[in-house]
Amino acid sequence: MVRDGTAQGSAVEVGGAGPDFDLESSTGSRVRLADYRGKSNVVLYFMREFT
């Protein structure tokens, strides 16, 4: 969940900075986008289907 004050679902322009977010990694540690600012990175999101 994004908790930076932006409207949920607001679009980010291509090449623009994404909103900061905090997620749990597969190892249980917390990962923040801000930890990677200034570095080349790609964020992939795979939606889990609930069927």
- Convert the pLDDT of each residue in 1-51 to its tens digit: 445 555 556 677 887 777 888 889 889 999 888 888 888 877 777 777 766
- Total number of domains constituting the chain: 1
Whether this model's pTM surpasses 0.85: no
- The pLDDT value recorded for residue 51 is 63
Distance of CA 20 to the CA centre of its chain: 6
Domain of residue 4 covers 1-51
Q: Which region, left, alpha or beta, applies to residue 36 given φ > 0 means left and ψ of -120 to 50 means alpha?
A: alpha
- The pLDDT value recorded for residue 9 is 61
- The pLDDT value recorded for residue 13 is 82
